[in-house]
Structure 1
Amino acid sequence: VLFRTVAMMVPDYALIGEISLYSMGFVDAPSLAGKIVATYRLCSEQLSSQHHYDYGMRAVKSVLTAAGNLKLKYPAQSEAVLVLRAINDVNLPKFLAQDVPLFQGITSDLFPGIELPTPDYETIFAALKKSIQERNLQPVPWFLEKIIQIYEMILVRHGLMIVGDPMGGKTTAYQVLASALTNIHALGSDCGMEEFAVTYRIINPKAVTMGQLYGCFDPVSHEWSDGILAVTFREFASSTSTERKWILFDGPVDAVWIENMNTVLDDNKKLGWKPLKESYLESLPDHLNFEKKTVDDMFEWLVPACLEFLHHKCRTLVTTSDLHLTHSLMKLFSCFMNDCLSTKQIDEDDMSSSEVSLALQSLFVFAVLWSFGGSMDAESRVRFDEMYRLLLSGENENFPKPKSFRLGKSQLFPENGLAFDYMFDKHKRDWVIWIDTLDRASTLLPADVRVNELIIPTDETVRQMFFLNTYLMNEVPMLFVGPTGTGKSAITNNFLIHLAREKYIPNSINFSARTTAGQTQDIIMSKLDRRRKGVFGPGMGRKCVMFVDDLNMPAKETWGAQPPIELLRQLLDHGHWYDKKDTSKIEIIDVLLISAMGPPGGGRNDISGRFTRHLNVVAIDSFDDQTLTKIFSSVVDWHFGKGFETAVLRMGKALVHAIKDIYKAAINNFLPTPSKSHYVFNLRDFARVVQGVLLTPRSHLQDPNKLLRLWVHEVYRVFYDRLIDDSDRQTFFNIVKDTTQSCFKQNLDKVLSHLTPSGKLKDDHIRNLFFGDYMHPDAELKVYDEVTDLNYLTTVME
């Protein structure tokens, strides 16, 4: 009873519309207002349900505003034509493709027999085409149409939103429009169109905190500090210039930063890859222009076939799109041309035009292989290899080989193995196995390093080093994706250590779930100097190589964004950040990005496609048995070759096979479940067993039987300690027993017969061996460190 009731009701849209139209000079206002309301009512009933579809008062107001502007511009035009055009201009840009025919059906029923005249956009079309060509892009019709829709939306709304897939042309669309309007303004009234120049500022709202964006109140000093948006808005508002001023929020949307902004969402169509290809062909080096037709033919032949196969038959370790993959191909092919087919390289190698042509085609085949196949898992690469060989041989009827492609069977990768096992050697101009590109000196293992610092040369490690070098030299951001323990971090860090210090400054960042955008900015800025006002970079003549490990670890906030990644994306997209103290714009130059991450899942997130589209992806899947054996056999032989008994050295290969069998059996038998979520085994577990065995010095390991007992101990420590019930423990005991017989040709009962008088070994006896005699008096169990407690290890072996 103490509260006064106030009833709220839906306003009469038709009456509001009628009054508004009368005020704008319309005579047939009642009928036209009813048609506007009927349009939105029918749309809400018949069109699909989308988040950005709005049929409320705000939408009606937009149509009324647009109709009023048109009435002022074309006072003699039919009123029905003006209202229909206003309805189309405001609504068509935001409808999905499947809803457009339904919408057109609704408007044709409400406005029967009315044909809309084509608007006079000759001047702006000419300016747009000029701006597009200056950027080496293609003025395809739908792209021009989308830019015009953005322009028309700007005329009737003070806030709007452009949404679409990564590389869909969103950023380019508004930038081209801004450039075109500025050019029209520069021409003045001579061009027949009055317009204003455009200036804009770009802010990623997810790369800064809410306080940095809007401003914040200091609870200690009771002072208000303006945010980036407030400073920018005040600067634009106080400006006396006539320029159009756009503030662009380029980042993921959430209800926090966008809550008070009036927006209209424009759903953009996907850009096809062929306009991208046309622009790329225009950028080919002048001395290779005679091969433009060949490159074009190879694009049209190989790209559609590979995309179709990849989407239907393959699995990638990270989400990709057609545009992303095709753009990656262009970047990688450009790297190869810069490296192998530059004018200097052609002159040095004295290559004829036919040799240049064959090398260019081989490099394109190589680039396609690693652009589309580079992000696949191991099983998919096998399938892709089979398809790719048939495609190149001309046996795929759906994608016939063009006449300009002159590589025969003998000039492609050999029959043995997969195409992925070979690289095109620029010196030999032939296909060679990856590891054959190394000289013998670089394959020798140094004797004076720790075990965990060793990098064993294999095809996989050579591949990683090759792509690191190729992409870094050409300043292409890259991403390694693969399971734990495949050497992504170790090889990249080793690569960074050996970079020339006079040219490069390495800067490594390990992302975690708690990493913030502010911390990321601080770490990167710590290695940069102030070049001039508002511009930061490494010392003159040097470049900062930023290695971001565990890229997808930062936790997603409420609305799904990862602020540290958004900060990096703003750097790659726009090349600037904002100072954390005074919010001034700071330009970042000469910073290169290398990144690595595990596949999404298990605490790792799937990162935004708007960020990964900048990165060329190289997937590193779990090693096959041959690679595993080679890596760890090399390590064991390297260690036991330091003066150990010959009998111990000879056991090295059997030891590695035994560890491999235990590792694979553990993966197959002990699967993770909700109650056993820690039953996750990876290559680091394999490496831990090997490292544990190699900790023992030569003086303590002369008898091969001691090595066998130590192997039992180490596999128990690494694998058995993770098991939580007796049935799993008994299973593991049986696995160890079988492996001892199959790999070492010895009976485990005999090897450990001293543990039990009966001569029949049980799992309990092994448990007693490791822990029973070494119980700490004050604790249930004492965990021993192999490095510090050598006596414990020696006792185990004996």
Structure 2
Amino acid sequence: MRCNAARTIISSHGHPWYPQPCPRSDPAFTVSHLKNGSPATVSRAGVLFLNEADVGWQPYVQSWVDELNQVQDHIDTKETAWLEALVNQYIPPTIDNIRKNKWKHITPLMDFAMVSTLCSILEGLLTKKNCPPGSDKDVYEAYFQYAAVWAFGGCFGADKANDFRKMFSEWWRAEWGKTSFKFPDEGLVFDYYVELKSDGSGKVEGKHWKERVPSYTHATGEGASFSDIVVPTMDTTRLSFLINMLMPRQKPVMLVGAAGSAKTTIFQDNLSQLPDELMFFAISFNSFTNAGSLQPILEQPLEKKTGTMFAPPGTKKLIYFIDDVNMPSPDKYGTQSAIALLRQQIDYGGFYDLKKLTMKEIRGVQYLGAMNPTAGSFFIIDRMQRHFATFATLFPENDVLYTIYYKILAGHFASGSFADSINKVVGDKNQLANKIIGAALMLHKLVADAFLPTAVKFHYAWNLRELSRITQGMLMSSPDNYHEPFTIIRLWLHESYRVYGDRLTDEQDAGRFNEMVLRCSKNFFEDENQDDLHQKPLAFTKFAKWSPGMDADEELPYFQVADGKKLSLILTKKLEEYNESNARMDLVLFEQARQALLPCAS
């Protein structure tokens, strides 16, 4: 857009624009829309409109193929001709079919963004190891199919109405089932990776990702934290493969999924294993984050190299991990200034010094991002989104959830000196852990289906975090204080009431929840006396075993208080001690108040 009257531009924030060098004295902008333009601006602007289809993605792909030919010595003219043919064979029909069927990605993506992701994945796959000199076209086509599946379908999600990822998988098999490479029929095309056969034939085959899932080792001892526990699954394994392949190639990666879908966990697990030459800096966005508050945070891990150039310390490379990318509140013009600042750094290699008003050149940095499409602004501007290779993190299936939490709980029982009745194994399953996790998953599903969020009960949102909190409470059990399965089951009941029951707002919901707990208890713990199992008080805490002779830093056991009178006496005594040295609080510690204090004091 070229404007011959600069005074009509009311605010530079009104238009998401790129300043462009212009030999004339009047300003020239590249804007994505004129939604915020005043009538005077629109009437005086000379607009050259280019949509995404005018230039298209073909010039980018051609440039990428030419560059690949120069940097990869095993890719010659013949291989580049194969790649160009594969591009023309696969990309246009795939994009047309997505648009025709109106399949929706979990966040809006431009065609160019998907094609750019395809090229980045191919860069990581078409190495000399995977494609030795002399490899035939079938090898390149197999890797091309794998890259295309994730570039175009990796951001598809699923909801109660539609499973777009499954639809894409079925279409891919039907459309390309007669090509030289065919994904195995079981499951989805996303469940397989491509690898050279070990027989030395130079052929490739599709192998299931479950064959590459690492084994889980339960961490114990000093320094072990529940937040550091990561149970490898097929989803985490294949996403980690893509992340670790794209990061060294300076390609920003974004994971998009609902709360509790392990976006942050996957990134943190990979970032914790970075080599020495890489470092990371985590930033969590919120609704108050703006460019003014973000820029000093971005500058914290950087050091000055020359006059206006800044970079990470020494020769290291820096990875910014931005959590909740879409959380900043838009201003009245719809601009999220924090995201605009990040985009300026990515597009132009830096941002302006707020005091000197000179450009700061930022080198040696790249970005990873996580985003919840049901929160904040729901999505980010396409000019920022196009830079990222975007993949969806879906809520795990029930069998995957069982595997995750069973391994954690069974690992906890096996790592300690728990009684044989707690560690009883039938086949290859710890029977107690098997029953508790089964009951926990059943209860979670009942709660999630029955207690839906409303305008008044907006906090009725249930995800993996609830299951994690219950499991975290279970891991506070110790062999010194838990000698039989009965006490462990009581602990699960207590944690369930604290995690779910404490968030319910009326007696009717609380009554329904009690019925759900009883139903799960009878289904999975039929051998136990149900009256004894649910006997009140159902109270577990740490302070019950505190005594005056104990060290203040000593770790107290998390154990049940079976006597309601004893619990009342302990809390009353603690209240008296508090009142002796603080402003007096005359509290009546009735049963519900005592129950509410337990998680606060633990």
C-alpha distance in structure 2 between counterparts of 1:318 and 1:744, whole Å: 43
Which residue does the alignment assign to 1:647? 421
Which residue among 469, 482, 501 is the counterpart of 1:688? 469
Say if 1:251 and 1:566, in contact at 8 Å, map to a contact too: no
Please report how far the alpha carbon of residue 356 of structure 1 lies from its aligned counterpart in structure 2 after TM superposition: 4.8
The C-alpha deviation readout for 1:92-121, integer Å capped at 9, x for no partner, is xxxxxxxxxxxxxxxxxxxxxxxxxxxxxx
Give the stretch that moved more between structures: 294-303 or 378-387: 294-303
The one of 38, 43, 49 aligned to 1:267 = 49
Aligned counterpart, 1:475: 250
Q: Could you give the per-residue CA deviations for residues 433-474 of structure 1, whole angstroms, max 9, x where no partner exists?
A: 33433566xx43333322221111111121232122111111
Give 1:788 deviation, angstroms: 5.7
**Aligned partner of 1:369 among 144, 149, 164:** 149
Residues 752, 539 of structure 1: alpha-carbon distance in 2 compared, 3 angstrom cutoff: closer
Shift of 1:159: 5.8
Q: Output the CA distance in 2 between the equivalents of 1:539 and 1:618.
A: 31
Which residue of structure 2 aligns with residue 360 of structure 1? 140
1:695, distance to aligned residue in structure 2 (A): 1.0
361, 369, 387: which one pairs with 1:614? 387
Q: CA deviation at 1:205?
A: 4.5
> Which residue identity lines up with residue 263 of structure 1 in the other structure?
A
SS in 1 for 2:305: strand
User: In 2, are the aligned partners of 1:489 and 1:549 still within 8 Å (CA)?
Assistant: yes
Determine whether 1:298 maps to 2:71: no
Are the structure 2 counterparts of residues 533 and 254 from structure 1 closer, same or farther at C-alpha, using a change threshold of 3 Å? farther
Which of 427, 435, 460 aligns to 2:235? It is 460
Equivalent residue runs for 1:6-155 within 5 Å: none
Q: Partner of 2:422: helix, strand, or coil?
A: helix
Amino acid at match of 2:230: I
Higher relative contact order (CA 8 A, sep 6+): 2
Aligned to 2:287: 513
Q: Deviations over 1:542-566 (max 9, x none)?
A: 2111111111111111111100000
Instruction: Decide whether aligned partners of structure 1 residues 602 and 769 sit closer, same or farther in structure 2, where only a CA change above 3 A counts.
Output: farther
Secondary structure of the equivalent of 2:282?
strand
Taking the aligned partners of 2:445 and 2:141, their CA distance within structure 1 comes to: 42
Tell me which residue corresponds to 2:309. Answer: 535
Q: 1:158 & 1:282 partners in 2: Cα distance?
A: 42
Which SS does the other structure have where 1:696 is aligned? Answer: coil
Greater gyration radius? 1
| Counterpart-to-counterpart distance in 2, 1:493 and 1:362 | 31
Does structure 2 retain, via aligned residues, the 8 Å contact 1:252–1:561?
Answer: no
Residue type at the aligned position of 1:618: F
Alignment of structure 1 residues 182-221 onto 2, 5 Å: 205-206=12-13
Structure 1 residues 243, 251: closer, same or farther in 2, change over 3 A? Answer: closer
Structure 2 partner of 1:735: 516
CA distance in 2, matches of 1:367, 1:536: 35
Aligned residues: 529
Gap change, CA 1:580 and 1:701, over 3 Å in 2: same
Q: Does 1:628 align with 2:401?
A: yes
Q: Give 1:538 shift.
A: 1.7
In structure 1, distance between residues paired with 2:380 and 2:354? 25
Q: Is the 8 A contact 1:206 1:567 kept in 2?
A: no
Counterpart Cα distance in 2 of 1:392 and 1:670: 44
Q: 1:392 to 1:468 in 2, by over 3 A?
A: same
TM-score (norm 1): 0.61
Q: Alpha-carbon deviations, 1:411-452, whole Å to 9, x = none?
A: x33222221112223685432233433566xx4333332222
Q: Give 5+ residue unaligned stretches, structure 1.
A: 1-149, 163-203, 214-228, 237-241, 395-404, 757-767, 790-798
**1:361-389 deviation line (CA, Å, top 9, x unaligned):** 11100101101111011422122111111
Is residue 2:213 matched to residue 1:425?
no
Question: Is the 8 Å Cα contact of residues 576 and 586 (structure 1) preserved in structure 2?
Answer: yes
Where does residue 550 of structure 1 map in the other structure? Answer: 324
> Given the alignment, which residue of 706, 713, 716 partners 2:497?
716
Distance 1:779 1:684, change over 3 A: farther
Matched, 1:283 2:67: yes
Using a 3 Å threshold, how does the CA distance of structure 1 residues 717 and 772 change in structure 2: closer, same or farther?
farther
Q: What secondary structure, in the 3-state scheme, does the structure 1 residue paired with 2:459 have?
A: coil
Whole-Å separation in 1 of the counterparts to 2:121 and 2:115: 10
Per-residue CA deviations over 1:486-521 (Å, capped at 9, x if unaligned) read 2221231232222123x1121111111111212221
Cα distance in 2 for residues equivalent to 1:706 and 1:417: 41
The answer (yes or no) to whether the contact 1:451–1:635 under 8 Å persists in 2 is no
Secondary structure, counterpart of 1:267 in structure 2: coil
Letter matched to residue 508 of structure 1? A
Counterparts in 2 of 1:706 and 1:361: CA distance versus 1, 3 Å? same
Separation in 2, partners of 1:744, 1:385: 41
1:489 counterpart residue number: 264
The equivalent residue for 1:55 is none
1:778 aligns with 2:587: yes
**How many Å apart are 1:158 and its aligned residue?**
5.8
Whole-angstrom distance in 1 between the partners of 2:534 and 2:133: 74
- Note the alpha carbon deviations across 1:215-259, whole angstroms, 9 max, x for none: xxxxxxxxxxxxxx9xx9xxx9xxxxx954675556677999989
Tell me what 2:106 maps to: 317
Q: Do the aligned partners of 1:206 and 1:566 also contact (CA within 8 Å) in 2?
A: no
- Structure 1, residues 384-410: CA drift from partner, whole Å, max 9, x if none? 11111112213xxxxxxxxxx533xxx
Which residue does 2:583 correspond to in 1? none
Report the alpha carbon displacement of residue 276 of structure 1 after superposing the two structures with TM. 3.7
Go from structure 1 to structure 2 and tell me whether the alpha carbon gap of 1:587 and 1:657 turns closer, same or farther (over 3 Å shift).
Answer: same
* Secondary structure, aligned partner of 2:442: helix
CA gap of 1:207–1:655, structure 2 versus 1, over 3 A, is farther
Is 1:677 aligned to residue 461 of structure 2?
A: no
Alignment correspondent of 1:44: none
Amino acid at match of 2:587: D
Q: Going by fraction, where is helix more abundant, 1 or 2?
A: 1
Quick one: distance in 1 between partners of 2:303 and 2:14? 21
C-alpha change, 1:299 and 1:785, in structure 2 (3 Å) is farther
CA contact 2:252–2:367 (8 Å) conserved in 1: yes
Q: Distance in 2 between matches of 1:304 and 1:434?
A: 28
The structure 2 residue matched to 1:329, chosen from 118, 121, 129, is 118
Would the aligned equivalents of 2:69 and 2:80 in 1 still touch at CA under 8 Å?
no
- Preserved contact between residue 161 and residue 263 of structure 1 (Cα < 8 Å): no
Structure 1 residues 694 and 787, CA, compared in 2 at 3 Å: closer, same or farther? farther
Counterpart amino acid of residue 491 in structure 1:
I
Matched, 1:383 2:167: yes
Match of 2:364 in 1: 590
- SS in structure 2 of the partner of residue 582 of structure 1: coil
Distance 1:248 1:583, change over 3 A: farther
Alignment partner, residue 745 of structure 1:
526
Question: Aligned pair in 2 of structure 1 residues 753, 420: CA closer, same or farther (>3 Å)?
Answer: closer
Is residue 206–residue 562 contact of structure 1 (8 Å, CA) maintained in 2? Answer: no
- 2:37 and 2:315 map into 1 onto residues whose CA distance is 40
Comparing 256-265 with 503-512, which one deviates more in the overlay? 256-265
Q: Is the 8 A contact 2:498 2:599 kept in 1?
A: no
| Match status 1:605 vs 2:378 | yes
Q: CA deviation at 1:530?
A: 2.0
Q: C-alpha separation between the residues in 2 aligned to 1:555 and 1:770?
A: 48
CA contact (8 A) 2:6 2:27 kept: no
CA distance in 2: counterparts of 1:477 and 1:356, whole angstroms: 31
Q: Tell me the C-alpha RMSD between the 2 structures.
A: 3.5
Instruction: For residues 647-676 of structure 1, give each alpha carbon's deviation from its aligned partner in whole angstroms, at most 9, with x where no partner exists.
Output: 323210111111111111111100111121
Structure 1 pair 698/714, CA: closer, same or farther in 2 (3 Å)?
same
Question: What residue in structure 1 maps to residue 410 of structure 2?
Answer: 637
CA shift at 1:593, angstroms? 0.7
Q: Which residue of 2 aligns with 1:568?
A: 342
**Contact 1:207/1:567 (CA < 8 Å) preserved in 2?**
no
* Match of residue 273 from structure 2: 498
Look up the match of 1:701: 482
